Amino acid sequence: MRGLDLTSGAQMRGSSRIFAAATTVVIAAAALAFSGKFRPAEAYPDRPITVIVPYPAGGGTDIVARTLTALLEQELGVPLNVVNRGGGGGLIGTQAIADAKPDGYTLGVIASDVSLYKPQKLSDLTYEKLTPIGQTNELPSGITVNVSSPYKTAAELIADIKAKPNTLKGTGAPPNLNWHVAYAGLMLRLGIDPNSVIWVPTQGGTAGHLDVAAGNSTFSTASLAEARALIDSGKLRPLAVMANKRLEMYPDVPTVKEALNVDWTFSLWHGLVGPANLPKEVLDVIVPAMEKVVKKDEFRKPLQERGFTLVWRDPTAFREFMASDLKAMESVLSALNK
């Protein structure tokens, strides 16, 4: 019996030591977790993230996406794989973002075209079916004419549009899309029927500027960034920019407020989004990482050199901005299509 008692006591003392050691490990792990030095295997993100770009490779949205994701990878510690899903003016790819599982592993860089789908009755897809993460930039519309044009100011061009209805030719985009909406909105603010100008459809702003440089159209309302090579080579003359302030790239070009005394701005914009209902734990990781990236020179300089205006809006401000943009597009397209 005595032997048994001694063995039992030894077992109890051994068990106590094991329990104490286990407790120490648990406490140490908790302390590491609290200090931020311990990361559970299931913490977001723990595998590659797909970033959908709803446009072909090489365009403005693609350039923004690839510049952003290359730097965001460094912050998140996982690969971000850009996948181009063009078609339908961005509708196909943007819908794919909205339809993705809301787990943070499928995101997308979208453009302002998302504000045009519902007003044109192309789809019910709007910003409301997405989770805003952050806006990165804007690309303001401009007004350019051929360097040999008689128009030296935007006011002179507008005066001739009024005096010679159905004579001058505008260009820069297909009807009811981006730069055409920029033009139509400006005309409506000036109290001029947008149909006073013959609109020449082109596939993109660069093509529109080339059309003006070739002497086929009177003016373009695509971005000055897309006209940079033609402006700098002396083939186009910029008359105004549809922005709140002058562009760093062309500080001598007035805003339409300065040139025409009208409150009208229009920009293509880009931002990172996910499907609706992204969980808080995902946003708590991705939003601070993105904000850090968009404020880096490695992100800002390449885009500024291409003529983009850098804008950071957090999820709340980005959602409010998209809501106001949708409302503005509904107003312009409603008036344009009466």
Residue 286 has pLDDT above 60, yes or no: yes
DSSP classification of residue 192? -
In this structure, the answer to whether residues 170 and 212 fall within a common structural domain is yes
In this structure, the answer to whether residues 273 and 129 fall within a common structural domain is yes
Residue 37 has pLDDT above 70, yes or no: no
In this structure, the answer to whether residues 164 and 255 fall within a common structural domain is yes
CATH of the domain at 188: 3.40.190.10
- What's the rounded Cα separation, in Å, for the pair 91 and 1? 84
Domain boundary among 215, 243, 260: 260
Domain count, the chain: 2
Mean pLDDT estimate for the chain: 88
Mean pLDDT (whole number) for 265-281: 96
Higher model confidence: residue 108 or residue 27?
A: 108
The pLDDT value given to residue 19: 43
Residue 163 domain-assigned (yes or no): yes
Record the tokens describing residue 335, joined without a space. 């008036």
What is this structure's pTM?
A: 0.79
The residues facing 268 across adjacent strands are 139
Residue type, 97: I
Task: Give which of 162, 185, 158, 165 is closest to 173, Cα–Cα.
Answer: 185
Residue 106 has pLDDT above 70, yes or no: yes
Chain-centroid distance of CA 29 in Å reads 41
In this structure, the answer to whether residues 120 and 183 fall within a common structural domain is no
Residue 336 domain-assigned (yes or no): no
The pLDDT value given to residue 206: 87
Pairing of strands 142-146, 219-220: antiparallel
Task: Give which of 62, 45, 66 is closest to 299, Cα–Cα.
Answer: 66
In this structure, the answer to whether residues 183 and 280 fall within a common structural domain is no
pLDDT in tens, 41-83: 469 999 999 999 998 888 888 999 999 999 999 999 999 999 9
The range of the structural domain enclosing residue 178 comes to 142-260
Task: Give which of 23, 60, 317, 332 is closest to 206, Cα–Cα.
Answer: 60
Burial (Cβ within 10 Å: 0-12, 13-18, ≥19) of residue 333: buried
Residue 6 domain-assigned (yes or no): no
200 vs 95, 171, 265, 297, CA distance in Å? 29, 5, 22, 39
Integer distance in angstroms from the first to the last C-alpha of the chain?
A: 103
pLDDT in tens, 3-19: 434 344 444 444 444 44
In this structure, the answer to whether residues 60 and 111 fall within a common structural domain is yes
Residue 267 has pLDDT above 70, yes or no: yes
- What's the rounded Cα separation, in Å, for the pair 68 and 107? 12
What is the pLDDT confidence band of residue 330, given thresholds at 50, 70 and 90? very high
322 vs 140, 177, 268, CA distance in Å? 16, 17, 12
Residue 135 domain-assigned (yes or no): yes
Mean pLDDT (whole number) for 13-30: 45
3 state DSSP class of 236: strand
In this structure, the answer to whether residues 84 and 178 fall within a common structural domain is no
- What's the rounded Cα separation, in Å, for the pair 65 and 56? 12
Residue 18 domain-assigned (yes or no): no
Residue 5 domain-assigned (yes or no): no
Radius of gyration of the chain (CA): 27
Residue 287 has pLDDT above 90, yes or no: yes
In this structure, the answer to whether residues 158 and 212 fall within a common structural domain is yes
**Tokens 């003529």 -> residue:** 307
The pLDDT value given to residue 306: 84
pLDDT in tens, 196-232: 999 999 877 888 999 999 999 999 999 998 899 999 9
The pLDDT value given to residue 18: 43
Q: Are 142 and 210 in contact (CB under 8 A)?
A: no
Residue 25 domain-assigned (yes or no): no
Strands (E), the chain: 49-53, 80-84, 106-111, 130-140, 142-146, 169-171, 198-200, 219-220, 236-241, 267-275, 309-313
Percent of the chain with pLDDT over 90: 75
Higher model confidence: residue 305 or residue 266?
A: 266
Q: Are 150 and 310 in contact (CB under 8 A)?
A: no
The pLDDT value given to residue 41: 43
Q: Are 137 and 112 in contact (CB under 8 A)?
A: no
CATH of the domain at 90: 3.40.190.150
Residue 332 domain-assigned (yes or no): no
In this structure, the answer to whether residues 179 and 252 fall within a common structural domain is yes
Residue 249 has pLDDT above 60, yes or no: yes
In this structure, the answer to whether residues 176 and 243 fall within a common structural domain is yes
Mean pLDDT (whole number) for 291-295: 96
Domain boundary among 233, 260, 287: 260
Domain boundary among 260, 295, 317: 260
In this structure, the answer to whether residues 132 and 57 fall within a common structural domain is yes
Task: Give which of 273, 272, 286, 278 is closest to 102, Cα–Cα.
Answer: 278
H helix intervals, the chain = 2-35, 60-76, 91-99, 154-163, 178-189, 205-213, 228-232, 256-260, 280-294, 297-305, 315-336
Cis peptide before 45 (omega within 30 of 0): yes
Q: How many CB atoms lie within 10 A of CB 235?
A: 18
Helices 60-76 + 297-305 axis angle, to 10: 170
The pLDDT value given to residue 86: 87
Chain-centroid distance of CA 13 in Å reads 65
What is the pLDDT confidence band of residue 28, given thresholds at 50, 70 and 90? very low
Higher model confidence: residue 175 or residue 101?
A: 101
In this structure, the answer to whether residues 93 and 119 fall within a common structural domain is yes
